[in-house]
């Protein structure tokens, strides 16, 4: 058996097709006819963009608009004057187009890879795809043909690039195995969109498997079973049937209200990163957006987005949501989220450092322009502002004062906005949990960010495998923190949501119902599952589970017990 990361759920049973990387080798040479070389480079960009457009059309038909957007993003990156300009500068300094492309792409790949942040690292995968596409054109190398794969194929490759995905015929590919990628990589996003089971980050998968051999891809557990016997094939075929049945059943929850078994209604929102993701939220039957991570508007570019650019993005998201709530989190950079052009200094301890609201309050012009953009967009829908990483009441007050200043500026210019816009706090630090009673007096709502709250409460870095055993929202300390935040909000009569990953965890749901959470914000694919899980519990049943859970002393006792009741 081979192990990796289960990145797209379901079971696939089929035969391996190895997709080998193309060799893109060349000997760098000095060019003398610079104009001709520039024309060759520009021609390759045009062809690359034409190819990409065609691939995007294909993927739009086979998979959907959102997936086509990933490919269209490649055009935006290579057409960006900064990247193209840097490549042309090297050509003007007598480098051949191949080495200029490679060198500048490498610079971007290194920069994005160094962040350690999954989402920024995705940009590195995009740039690799662009580099390979351009080099293939410049070197006249043929593209890999996945579209010829026969029915029952399990694709095995080092990395599944968006351009490769364009060739996938959904009915023929039953599984995907790659050597790289994480749950949030494009490969994973695309595999999930295509509903193809996928196991990523399997070390040496290409060398360990051979074309034609039979394998089972278990996308739930991140396992690849090699040379399966008949008993295994029967077992996994049954699992596959059960999985497909569940997927069909979930569709029964589409269009329904989100309510517990005894009828208490909850808001069920989605987390998004770009305005286009709002389409996913609507398609997934989300009832709004509980977290718009605005840092994505600031990435993939070489300077700050202007107020107008931000306004357009927030307005677009709001219009897509057609009046459904949109909670926009102000810029949350620093820690694991880097934006190179801001020139933030390297810190000894970035997670404890100059980040998020701390950075924004010290860079008031930038912060105010974001707030003004949000306010202007609030004239077009139900928009709310949320501040990340609050640790002290003063930060909330300062942030709110800036909102008032921005309102006064807009009023003076006669620009419309929602006068009563709500301003909430993302409770994701231990401090915010401890002073939740004080914050609840001055915030319009809370949203619990368990991804960070777990790390800050347990003093355990989510990316460090040595302390991974501590990084669980089911530790008694984290659960007490969550319960406290919810209780403080309820005591002061403000809504309280959860937008961290834990909100979608079936074992967490009865606890949240019992503690009194009012809103869940989850990734789009989890919406129907969370609605189904909420519908399973009455308040009395959830209270009984919570009472038992809060009587335990260790995380193991808690998770062992919860596994028996979900
Ligand atoms: C969180 O911290 O729980 C959260 C939702 O925010 P992010 O993952 O963007 O830090
Ligand atoms: Mg966070």
pLDDT, tens digit, for every residue of 189-236?
Answer: 778 878 899 999 999 999 999 999 999 999 999 999 999 999 999 999
DSSP for residue 306: P
Kindly tell me if the per-residue pLDDT of 417 is higher than 90. Answer: yes
For ligand 1, is residue 428 a contact (CB within 6 Å)?
A: yes
Look at 165 and 383; give whichever has higher pLDDT.
383
Mean pLDDT over 411-429 rounds to 98
Q: Is residue 123 very low, low, confident or very high in pLDDT (cuts 50, 70, 90)?
A: confident
452 C-alpha to ligand 1 centroid (Å): 6
Going by C-alpha positions, the residue among 136, 138, 160 that lies closest to residue 149 is: 160
Its pTM surpasses 0.75: no
Mean pLDDT over 173-196 rounds to 84
> What gap in Å lies between CA 359 and CA 356, rounded to an integer?
5
519-536 confidence digits (pLDDT tens)? 999 999 899 999 999 999
Measured from the CA of 451, which atom of ligand 1 is nearest?
Answer: 3
Kindly tell me if the per-residue pLDDT of 63 is higher than 80. Answer: no
Contact 526, 269 (CB under 8 A): no
Contact 371, 385 (CB under 8 A): yes
Name residues whose C-beta falls within 8 Å of residue 365's C-beta, 6 or more positions apart in sequence: none
The CA-atom distances, in angstroms, between 324 and each of 254, 278, 318, 416 are 16, 11, 8, 19
Mean pLDDT over 489-505 rounds to 97
User: Which range (54-63, 101-110, 483-492, 546-555) has the least confidence?
Assistant: 54-63
Among the listed residues 157, 186, 475, 488, the single catalytic one is 186
Among 67-81, 193-207, 411-425, the range with the most confident prediction by mean pLDDT is 411-425
- 2-20+145-229: CATH topology is Glucose Oxidase; domain 1 (3.50.30)
Q: Is residue 184 very low, low, confident or very high in pLDDT (cuts 50, 70, 90)?
A: low
Mean pLDDT over 255-268 rounds to 98
For ligand 1, is residue 293 a contact (CB within 6 Å)?
A: yes
Measured from the CA of 499, which atom of ligand 1 is nearest?
Answer: 5
449 C-alpha to ligand 1 centroid (Å): 5
The pLDDT of residue 90 is 94
User: Which range (95-104, 130-139, 553-562) has the least confidence?
Assistant: 130-139
Look at 464 and 520; give whichever has higher pLDDT.
520
339-368 confidence digits (pLDDT tens)? 888 888 888 888 999 999 999 999 999 999
> What gap in Å lies between CA 108 and CA 106, rounded to an integer?
5
Q: Is residue 381 very low, low, confident or very high in pLDDT (cuts 50, 70, 90)?
A: very high
Q: Nearest bound ligand to CA 498?
A: 1
Going by C-alpha positions, the residue among 277, 268, 221, 194 that lies closest to residue 532 is: 268
Kindly tell me if the per-residue pLDDT of 432 is higher than 90. Answer: yes
The pLDDT of residue 379 is 98
* 499: annotated active-site residue: yes
DSSP for residue 475: S
Mean pLDDT over 399-419 rounds to 98
The CA-atom distances, in angstroms, between 431 and each of 391, 457, 472, 489 are 5, 9, 18, 15
Name residues whose C-beta falls within 8 Å of residue 99's C-beta, 6 or more positions apart in sequence: 26, 28, 90
For ligand 1, is residue 208 a contact (CB within 6 Å)?
A: no
Look at 431 and 299; give whichever has higher pLDDT.
431
Q: Is residue 514 very low, low, confident or very high in pLDDT (cuts 50, 70, 90)?
A: very high
The pLDDT of residue 72 is 87
The pLDDT of residue 260 is 98
From edge to edge, which strands make up the β-sheet containing 214-218?
2-3, 223-226, 214-218, 11-19, 153-157, 173-178, 198-200, 5-8
Q: Which stretch of DSSP H or E encloses residue 41?
A: helix 34-62
Q: Give exposure, 264-293, as e/b (b: 16+ Cβ within 10 Å).
A: bebbbbbbbbbbbbbbbbbebbbbbbbbbb
Longest dimension (CA), the chain: 80
Q: Give the rounded percent of residues in the chain with a pLDDT score beyond 70.
A: 98
Residue 122 — left, alpha, or beta (φ > 0 → left; ψ -120 to 50 → alpha)?
alpha
Q: Give the rounded percent of residues in the chain with a pLDDT score beyond 90.
A: 73
**Ranges in the chain annotated CATH 3.50.30.10:** 2-20+145-229
CATH 3.20.20.60 fits 265-565, yes or no: yes
CATH classification (class only), 34-139: mainly alpha
Q: Is residue 143 very low, low, confident or very high in pLDDT (cuts 50, 70, 90)?
A: low
Contact 6, 219 (CB under 8 A): yes
User: Which range (16-20, 332-336, 490-494) has the least confidence?
Assistant: 332-336
**Ranges in the chain annotated CATH 3.20.20.60:** 265-565
As a dihedral over the C-alpha atoms of residue 182, residue 188, residue 192, residue 198, rounded to 10 degrees, the angle is -80
**Ranges in the chain annotated CATH 1.10.274.10:** 34-139
Residue listed under structure tokens 């691939």? 55
If you take atom 6 of ligand 1, which residue's CA is the nearest one? 449
Those residues whose beta carbon sits under 5 angstroms from the ion ligand 2 are 428, 449, 452
CB atoms within 10 A of CB 413: 8
The pLDDT of residue 140 is 83
The pLDDT of residue 142 is 66
For the record, the structure tokens of 282 come out as: 């609507």
> What gap in Å lies between CA 335 and CA 332, rounded to an integer?
9
The CA-atom distances, in angstroms, between 379 and each of 109, 314, 444 are 39, 11, 19
Contact 18, 144 (CB under 8 A): no
If you take atom 7 of ligand 1, which residue's CA is the nearest one? 451
For ligand 1, is residue 290 a contact (CB within 6 Å)?
A: no
Among the listed residues 105, 157, 360, 499, the single catalytic one is 499
Q: Is residue 144 very low, low, confident or very high in pLDDT (cuts 50, 70, 90)?
A: low
Measured from the CA of 428, which atom of ligand 1 is nearest?
Answer: 2
> What gap in Å lies between CA 448 and CA 503, rounded to an integer?
9
Kindly tell me if the per-residue pLDDT of 40 is higher than 80. Answer: yes
Give the count of alpha carbons within 13 A of 82, CB side only. 10
Going by C-alpha positions, the residue among 178, 297, 321 that lies closest to residue 189 is: 178
For ligand 1, is residue 452 a contact (CB within 6 Å)?
A: yes
> What gap in Å lies between CA 204 and CA 207, rounded to an integer?
5
Q: Is residue 110 very low, low, confident or very high in pLDDT (cuts 50, 70, 90)?
A: confident
């Amino acid at each position: 058996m081979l192990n990796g990361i289960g990145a797209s759920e379901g079971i696939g049973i089929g035969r391996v097709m190895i997709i080998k990387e193309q060799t893109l080798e060349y000997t760098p040479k000095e060019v003398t006819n610079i104009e001709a070389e520039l024309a060759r480079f520009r021609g390759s960009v045009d062809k690359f963009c034409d190819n990409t457009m065609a691939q995007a059309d294909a993927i739009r038909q086979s998979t959907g608009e959102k997936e086509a957007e990933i490919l269209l993003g490649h055009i935006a990156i290579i057409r960006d004057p900064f990247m193209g300009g840097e490549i042309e500068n090297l050509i003007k300094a007598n480098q051949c187009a191949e080495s200029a492309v490679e060198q500048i792409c490498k610079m971007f790949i290194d920069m994005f890879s160094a962040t350690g942040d999954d989402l920024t690292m995705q940009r590195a995968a995009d740039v690799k795809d662009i580099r390979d596409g351009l080099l293939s054109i410049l070197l006249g190398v043929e593209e890999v043909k996945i579209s010829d794969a026969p029915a029952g194929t399990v694709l095995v490759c080092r990395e599944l690039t968006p351009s490769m995905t364009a060739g996938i015929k959904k009915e023929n590919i039953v599984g995907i195995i790659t050597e790289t990628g994480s749950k949030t990589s494009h490969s994973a996003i695309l595999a999930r969109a295509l509903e193809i089971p996928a196991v990523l980050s399997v070390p040496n998968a290409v060398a360990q498997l051979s074309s034609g051999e039979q394998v089972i891809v278990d996308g739930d557990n991140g396992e690849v079973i090699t040379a399966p016997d008949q008993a295994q094939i029967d077992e996994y075929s049954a699992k596959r049937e059960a999985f497909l049945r569940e997927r069909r059943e979930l569709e029964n929850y589409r269009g329904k209200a989100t309510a517990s078994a005894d009828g208490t209604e909850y808001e069920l929102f989605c987390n998004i990163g770009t305005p286009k993701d709002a389409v996913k939220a609507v398609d997934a039957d989300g009832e709004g957006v509980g977290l718009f991570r605005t840092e994505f508007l600031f990435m993939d570019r070489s300077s700050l987005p202007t107020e107008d650019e931000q306004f357009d993005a927030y307005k677009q998201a709001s219009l897509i949501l057609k009046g459904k709530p949109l909670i926009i989190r102000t810029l949350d950079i620093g820690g694991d989220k880097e934006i190179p052009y801001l020139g933030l200094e390297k810190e000894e301890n970035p997670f404890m450092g100059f980040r998020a609201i701390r950075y924004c309050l010290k860079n008031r012009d930038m912060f105010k322009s974001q707030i003004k953009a949000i306010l202007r967009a609030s004239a077009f829908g139900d928009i709310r502002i949320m501040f990340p990483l609050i640790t002290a009441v003063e930060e909330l007050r300062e942030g709110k004062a800036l909102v008032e200043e921005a309102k006064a500026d807009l009023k003076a210019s006669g620009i419309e906005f929602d006068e009563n816009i709500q301003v909430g706090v993302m409770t994701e630090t231990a401090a915010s949990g401890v002073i939740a009673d004080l914050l609840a007096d001055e915030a319009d709502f809370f949203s619990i960010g368990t991804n960070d709250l777990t790390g800050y409460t347990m003093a355990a870095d989510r990316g460090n495998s040595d302390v991974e055993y501590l990084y669980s929202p089911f530790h008694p300390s984290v659960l007490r923190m969550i319960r406290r935040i919810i209780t403080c909000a309820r005591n002061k009569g403000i809504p309280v949501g959860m937008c961290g990953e834990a909100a979608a965890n079936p074992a967490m749901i009865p606890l949240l119902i019992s503690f009194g959470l009012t809103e869940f914000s989850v990734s789009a694919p989890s919406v129907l599952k969370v609605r189904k899980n909420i519908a399973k519990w009455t308040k009395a049943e959830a209270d009984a589970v919570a009472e038992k859970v809060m009587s335990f002393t260790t995380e193991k006792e808690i998770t062992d017990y919860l596994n028996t009741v979900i």
